[in-house]
């Protein structure tokens, strides 16, 4: 089976490719990594009452699709959630939305209501064509496609632009 790379691709194709909508255990491992990570496969297996190999394979599958990444650790691989994993979990509803928005807002120092409004509008507007990646990438994509983004989000995303490319209003 050929897996897609971790480049940007559409939400629904992404969910069907990784089978997150059909694999309940995969969504449980993703939820665990988001809420309690970074975590080793051993800790995931112990806490979710799984075999180590099963937990490790699920975590590696999440890593392959860009929803988790390995954090450096001297004794073993620790898996932590990426923004793609958090946004996918938000879309799919595998964890409490307030916790997920808090995690994303803390990463980018954004106000929670603006971030939630953007994600809801973004995922609703683009549906099948939604690019799922880091929040700044999604904001750039939305602006490129002509969707208005909240001012708080625009100013936070502007710091990722090179100085020569930034145009003030």
Number of domains in the chain: 2
Residues in the chain: 169
- The string of pLDDT tens digits covering residues 47-78 is 999 999 999 999 999 998 889 999 876 567 89
Neighbours of 158 (CB within 10 A): 14
37, 79 contact by CB (below 8 A): yes
Domain end residue (candidates: 55, 84, 113):
84
For residues 73 and 112, membership in a common domain is answered with: no
Q: What is the pLDDT of residue 9?
A: 53
For residues 75 and 108, membership in a common domain is answered with: no
- The string of pLDDT tens digits covering residues 93-144 is 888 899 999 998 888 888 889 889 888 888 888 876 778 888 888 888 888 8
Q: Distance between CA 117 and CA 104 in Å, rounded?
A: 13
Identify the band that residue 154 occupies on the pLDDT scale cut at 50, 70 and 90.
confident
Domain CATH for 29: 1.10.10.10
Inside any domain, residue 137: yes
Q: What is the pLDDT of residue 162?
A: 64
Inside any domain, residue 99: no
Average pLDDT, the chain: 82
- In this prediction the pTM is 0.82
Bigger pLDDT: 43 vs 5: 43
For residues 17 and 73, membership in a common domain is answered with: yes
- The string of pLDDT tens digits covering residues 2-22 is 444 444 456 656 666 777 778
Q: Do the strands 68-71 and 78-81 form a parallel or antiparallel pair, or are they unpaired?
A: antiparallel
For residues 77 and 117, membership in a common domain is answered with: no
80, 35 contact by CB (below 8 A): no
Q: Distance between CA 27 and CA 100 in Å, rounded?
A: 14
Cβ-proximal residues to 122 (8 Å cutoff; 6+ apart), any chain: 130, 138, 142, 147
Residue 148's domain spans which residues?
A: 104-161
Average pLDDT over residues 139-153: 82
Inside any domain, residue 131: yes
For residues 79 and 16, membership in a common domain is answered with: yes
Inside any domain, residue 118: yes
């Amino acid at each position: 089976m050929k897996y897609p790379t971790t480049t940007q691709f559409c939400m629904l194709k992404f969910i069907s490719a990784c089978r997150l909508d059909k694999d309940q255990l995969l969504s449980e491992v993703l939820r665990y990594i988001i809420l309690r990570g970074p975590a080793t496969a051993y800790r995931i297996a112990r806490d979710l009452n799984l075999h180590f190999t099963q937990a490790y394979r699920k975590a590696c599958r999440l890593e392959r699709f860009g929803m988790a990444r390995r954090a450096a650790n001297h004794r073993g691989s620790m898996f932590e959630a990426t923004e793609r994993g958090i946004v996918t979990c938000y879309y799919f509803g595998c964890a409490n939305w307030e916790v997920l928005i808090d995690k994303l807002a803390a990463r980018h120092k954004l106000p929670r209501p603006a971030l939630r409004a953007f994600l809801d509008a973004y995922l609703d507007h683009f549906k099948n064509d939604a690019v799922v990646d880091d929040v700044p990438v999604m904001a750039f994509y939305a602006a490129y496609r002509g969707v208005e983004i909240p001012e708080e989000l625009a100013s936070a995303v502007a710091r990722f632009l090179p100085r020569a490319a930034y145009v003030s209003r």
